[in-house]
């Protein structure tokens, strides 16, 4: 499955953070579910994404974790999420 959108994923000590500087996306959530909900709301407000199904690749920024653990992080921190913004757009109509 290919991604429509990519985010850099980090954790700031309190929240999961997803960013795509090129598109001006910066979302946060206490849990990954909360992050997904914040991302859905953000994308639903953007005309180019609203009302679509969007596959999002979230790639963890390994530079934010200690060097010794990076060898284990490649598969653990990356996510591929499919968001259905059609329902989100309908709830705001």
> What's the whole-model pTM score?
0.83
Tell which wins on pLDDT, 31 or 90.
31
Please provide the DSSP assignment of 26-84 as one string: EEEESSHHHHHHHHHHHHHTSTTTTTSEEEEEEEE-GGGS-GGGHHHHHHHS-EEEEEE
Query: What is the chain's alpha carbon radius of gyration, rounded to the nearest angstrom?
Result: 14
Q: What is the pLDDT of residues 13-68, one digit of tens each?
A: 999 999 999 999 999 999 999 999 999 999 999 999 999 999 999 998 888 878 88
If pLDDT is split at 50, 70 and 90, which confidence band does 73 have?
low
Least-confidence region, from 4-8, 11-15, 39-43, 76-80: 76-80
**Rounded alpha-carbon distances, angstroms, from residue 46 to 37, 43, 50, 52:** 15, 5, 6, 11
Residue 85: its H or E element: helix 85-91
């Amino acid at each position: 499955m290919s991604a429509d959108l990519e985010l850099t994923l980090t954790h700031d000590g309190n929240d999961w953070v997803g960013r795509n500087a090129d598109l001006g996306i910066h979302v946060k959530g206490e849990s990954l579910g909360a992050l997904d909900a914040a991302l859905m709301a953000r994308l639903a407000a953007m005309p180019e994404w609203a009302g679509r199904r969007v596959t999002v690749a979230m790639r963890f920024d390994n530079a934010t974790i200690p060097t010794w653990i990076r060898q284990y992080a490649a598969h653990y921190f990356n996510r591929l999420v499919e968001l259905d913004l059609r329902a989100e757009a309908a709830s705001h109509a």
